[in-house]
Chain A
């Protein structure tokens, strides 16, 4: 059988992420996939040399727009750990509220794109319509829809008033109702299942060995979520990771769908336990010499920050390992032996974010 080489990306009608894959195909069956990154590489880690550690929050938030809040939280918590700063409980729980709103709008965005990838455009529009309510909450409470920029070293810069809290609770109740109304379509519809069940299967052992992260890991039956560590405000909340065992595209989409409802529950829990207190503690001096390794759970999975302080306003080293970077080797294991028509669905099933990968 002759081998055909098909270049997939970096610009492709069904893949809104600039990743390039060289696909070696025989009779419309993919035999090998080789990635090429670097199309949008920005070298943001290098900026730690010339931006002071306060300014770097804004840089970290721009690693990725969709999970900007969680990048900012991870960076802030890393610096706070290095400097020995204890953030107030109110600030910790406010970070959780905005982080979970980010997770739910990220998953709703992805669910829409996923539906679009297998040609279900009305489902795509339904998910994005629901997502707009979350974006409105972000805009009303922080001033921005996507990059909310509420983190500062030592806490947060924005607060929620009692009126805003009541409004958020009523909005997320509507979101929950509207999401549940779509549940049967994304999880049980024949056309959705025919494009996702048994497609891009990755076993539990493969997921573990290849270092998969987030819903890609949990969709293969591994119950691991960094929120289990109880970092920040998560130590106050009841939480169990969402797990599916099939390891296919359907399982990964189901994990994300159920995590939207879980995020709504976590927002409610955080609001119920929100104490009075200062928003941020005052910071004196620069980060001391030392190193910190900190992990958080982003919508796409485990995100790792490694920082080294040297006593000056600049960091010696800032290293960011984003979840999509971890999920590319698993993707290379999922693609061989799949049909060419399933490539966009499988690639999208890891929720690729090349902006994160090429920070």
Chain B
């Protein structure tokens, strides 16, 4: 994959994202993938067409610290991940609570096989 990849943990992700912002990096987006029972999140940054990625591997059933307090634009992609993987984010500036893309009555998580969830009330 093009660009530098830096591994981060739940404890260091917000600090590393803050470092990126202080370095003048533009947050492009996040990408996600499943690895076993964990979710992989790649935070993609850009500066002068050079890309840097932060890679976080986290448990799906535990909240992930939100970086929307650092980059406001992260709110949309974090809500999308919430919808598609049923992963929660701690400190999300605008939390749609799994209804950004999905209707409240949806019970099947789109990108996680065989996981049913309670409909929103």
Residue numbers of A with Cβ under 8 A of B are 34, 36-38, 41, 43, 45-46, 208-211, 224, 226, 228-229, 290-295, 302, 304, 306, 308, 316-317, 319, 321, 325-326, 328-330, 333, 358
Contact = CB atoms under 8 A, between A and B. Distances in A.
29 contacts: A37-B100, A37-B101, A38-B99, A38-B100, A38-B102, A38-B103, A41-B102, A46-B111, A208-B24, A210-B72, A211-B26, A211-B29, A228-B49, A290-B1, A293-B2, A304-B28, A306-B31, A306-B42, A308-B33, A317-B32, A317-B33, A319-B32, A319-B33, A321-B28, A321-B29, A321-B31, A325-B77, A328-B76, A330-B73
B75 interface: yes
A358 B110 CA distance: 13
- Secondary structure of the A side of the interface? mixed
A291 B76 contact: no
Interface string B16-50: 00000100101111011110000000101000010
A357 to B, nearest CB: 9
A210 B21 CA distance: 11
Contact of A316 (B33, B44, B49, B76): B33
A211 B111 contact: no
Contacts of B94: 34
Contact of A293 (B1, B32, B110): B1
Contacts of B82: none
Of B2, B31, B51, most A-chain CB atoms within 10 Å: B31
B110 A43 contact: yes
Contacts of B26: 208-209, 211
Nearest to B111: A46
A208 B24 CA distance: 9
A302 B45 CA distance: 13
Contacts of B1: 290-293
Contacts of B73: 209-211, 326, 329-330
A329 B31 contact: no
B69 interface: no
A308 B111 CA distance: 14
Interface in B97-114: 99-103, 110-111
Contacts of A326: 28-29, 73
A68 B27 CA distance: 25
A304 B99 CA distance: 24
Contacts of A302: 28
Contacts of A229: 49
Contacts of B110: 43, 46
A209 B28 CA distance: 10
B86 to A, nearest CB: 14
Q: Which among B34, B73, B100 has the greatest number of chain A C-beta atoms within 10 A? A: B73
B53 A329 contact: no
Contacts of B28: 211, 295, 302, 304, 321, 326
**Closest 7 pairs between A and B when the two form their complex, measured CB to CB:** A306-B31, A321-B29, A211-B73, A329-B73, A38-B101, A317-B33, A319-B31
B33 to A, nearest CB: 4
- Max chain A Cβ within 10 angstroms of own Cβ: one of B2, B94, B101: B101
Contact of B75 (A38, A209, A321, A329): A329
B119 interface: no
B3 interface: yes
Nearest to A213: B28
Interface string B50-66: 01010000000000000
A45 to B, nearest CB: 7
A208 B110 CA distance: 32
A105 B52 CA distance: 33
Nearest to A206: B72
A293 B51 contact: yes
A224 B48 CA distance: 8
B117 to A, nearest CB: 16
A321 B21 CA distance: 20
Contacts of B76: 325, 328-329
A316 B44 CA distance: 19
Given A226-B49, A308-B33, A358-B101, 7 more contacts: A37-B100, A38-B99, A41-B101, A208-B24, A209-B72, A211-B71, A316-B33
